[in-house]
Chain A
Amino acid sequence: MEFLNGLVFLTNFVIIPATAYGAQLALGALGITLVYAILRFSNFAHGDTMAFGTAVAIKITAGLVALGVTLGPLPTALLALPIAIIVTGLLLLGTDWLIYKFYREQKAKPVILVIVSLGVMFVMNGLTRVFIGVRDIQFTDGARFVITVRQFRDATGLDEGLAIRTTQAITLVTAVIVMAALFWFLNRTRTGKSMRAFSDNEDLALLSGIDPDRVVRVTWLIVAALATTAGVLYGLDKSFKAFTYFQLLLPMFAAAIVGGIGNPVGAIVGGFLIAFAEVTITYPLKKVLTYWLPESMAPEGLVQLMSGDYKFAVSFMILIIVLLFRPTGLFKGQSI
């Protein structure tokens, strides 16, 4: 009983939130890894792309709710998501046409594109703030819980309760669907294979008749879909604030690099790894240990290894350790 109670407590406060957060990071890291693999640079504007996509989704959600259109128990934002993806896709294609294309034609070295993406980041940052403001915005509606603490306690008779929020369940289901679709696309379809070929060997792709411009366009569209989905799921689960999304850049890059940047499987594993590390290290584990350890060994302090304010330090530490000891990441040697 003691053990089960501890486990339920841990699941409720660490495992479930970390899994949802991990799925959101993984989707974000997938977008970063795709740009890296195919366009060959680290896209610093990714966090703000997420913010822009989410902002569009929020505006559309507000419009839908005002019209009386809702999804019942599910958040209305899911209905707005496809439109937000299209709008974000157009923004990315426009950015590419206006900015990145010039550098591609100059055959600019990738490091120059990294700096260019930094500039794009600042512009997108401002664009999002002008568009929706800097406030904290909650846009979740529908049913709040799939399982509430009370339901769980009544059903199991345990002291500790466990709740699963609708947004957490939706995050996981959506993430699994999106990831499965992405892998199917990259490994089974003609266009997906041509993207892998382009990533592998640009010159040879060119003389196989693969159109580089088309590969680049499709990549941006997929990145828009991944970023907007990740952003909306994160916003539903927590809340939307432009600055928070900018800050997500660090854990997302850490996830992509820990897994092996350029490798989609790595991005997913890295996302969950970073999320679990962040949540476990910043959550007070006193109660779990009290349940699990003999009474004489019960901890006196909170057993919170780090204050929540330092959670980005966790991803930063992991990032540095990985870059020091395994710079190619966990899944090295294979890119998409």
Chain B
Amino acid sequence: MTDNAYQDDRGNKDRSITKPGGGTAQPVAKGGKSTAVTGSAFLVGQGMTGGYGKGPDILHDCTIAVDPGEIAVIVGPNGAGKSTAMKAMFGMLDVRQGSVVLDGEDITRLSPQDRVVKGMGFVPQTQNIFTSMTVEENLEMGAFIRRDDLRDTMAQIYDLFPILKDKRNQAAGELSGGQRQQVAVGRALMTKPKVLMLDEPTAGVSPIVMDELFDRIIEVARTGIPILMVEQNARQALEIADKAYVLVQGRNAHTGTGKELLADDDVRRSFLGG
């Protein structure tokens, strides 16, 4: 698994002396600088190559871009590096080659916290809410970097997800799967991000809830925020996508609009099931 002896606990599971669930992210170190660049999409990961920690490369010269008003989706078979590509753009792992550019600034060397400040919002696939805290506290923590008045933003999020307003004082861990995803998206929107990244927002929810979530995501996109999304449900995702990337083994396999890829025989055969 890993060469680091400090990460070997020899199977110790004694919860009376250690608390499980520590962080697993290997983020870009703090203190990096961003530099101005010109002439590219709003958010673009250009030729990214990298992997977790000291492990092997998972991404190979992978390029992903999104512009305002667009929904871009990343699809592909299991283990294609879809989530890894998104995490790389958010600084959750070291990009060894290539760059990440946001709004004319090269942010490749910035830590995830600094990228939040620059205007990126990220919703991880799992463990994307603070289960022991109330819905309202979750939203407050989402806006941790903001020092101004949060009430307007919170009201907007309660408008977008009315169910959260009813459950605002309930622990987020007590909510249903679909409601949890709404909390997760709401938390990321609290910073008023310039771009929103969603890692499989519909994983593990029922088809009805999935359709509802897609509707909400389209609503968010209509407000002008570019959305970058990794999706397992490739067909539905391609239907709403303005731009789509098919990754295979960490490489760009196909790129185009959602409609183009849906019509592409090669894409259909390989993982849309004919």
Q: For B18, give its contact among A110, A196, A199, A210 (CB under 8 Å).
A: A110
11 more A-B contacts (CB under 8 A) besides A206-B23, A208-B116, A257-B16?
A: A108-B7, A109-B18, A110-B22, A197-B130, A201-B21, A204-B129, A208-B141, A209-B116, A209-B117, A328-B15, A336-B132
Find out whether the CB atom of B127 lies under 8 angstroms from the CB atom of A203.
yes
B40 at the interface (CB under 8 A from A): no
A112 contacts B133, C-beta separation under 8 Å: no
Known A111-B14, A209-B113; judge A202-B22 contact (CB<8 A): yes
- Check: A307 CB closer than 8 A to any chain B CB: no
B124 lies within 8 A of A203 (CB)? yes
B127 touches A112 (CB 8 A): no
Q: Chain A residues with Cβ under 8 A from B19's Cβ? A: 36-37, 40-41, 110, 261-262, 335
A194 to B7, Cβ gap below 8 A? Answer: no
Which residue of chain A is the closest to B131 with respect to CB atoms? A200
Does A159 have its Cβ within 8 Å of any Cβ on chain B?
no
Given A40-B22, A194-B144, A202-B23: A207 and B17 within 8 A (CB)?
A: no
A170 at the binding interface (Cβ < 8 Å): no
The minimal Cβ–Cβ distance linking B130 to chain A, given in whole angstroms, is 4
Bound Cα distance A113, B14 (Å): 13
**A296 CB within 8 Å of chain B:** no
B8 A202 Cβ-Cβ under 8 A: no
A129 to B194, CA, bound (A): 57
Among A112, A204, A335, max chain B CB count under 10 A is at A204
Does the CB pair A41–B145 fall under 8 Å?
no
Q: Is A313 an interface residue (CB 8 A)?
A: no
Within 8 A of A (CB), among B77-133: 90, 92, 112-113, 116-117, 122, 124, 127-133
Closest approach, in angstroms, between the C-beta of B118 and any C-beta of chain A? 11
Q: Which chain B residues lie closer than 8 Å to A336 at the CB level?
A: 132
A323 is an interface residue with CB less than 8 A from chain B:
yes
List chain A residues, Cβ under 8 A from B18. Answer: 40-42, 109-111, 113-114
Is A156 an interface position by the 8 A CB rule? no
In the bound assembly, the distance between CA atoms of A262 and B112 in angstroms comes to: 27
Q: How far is the CA of A107 from the CA of B131 in the complex (A)?
A: 23
A-B contact pairs, 19 of them (CB 8 A): A106-B7, A107-B22, A107-B24, A107-B26, A109-B18, A111-B14, A190-B144, A196-B130, A196-B133, A197-B141, A200-B131, A201-B127, A202-B25, A203-B124, A203-B127, A204-B129, A208-B116, A208-B145, A327-B15
Interface hub of B6, B12, B112 (most chain A Cβ within 10 A): B6
Set of chain B residues within 8 Å of A103, measured between Cβ atoms: 6
Whether A203 pairs with B23 at a CB distance below 8 angstroms is yes
A209 contact from B22, B92, B140, B145, Cβ within 8 A? B145
Whether B191 sits at the interface, judged by CB under 8 Å, is: yes
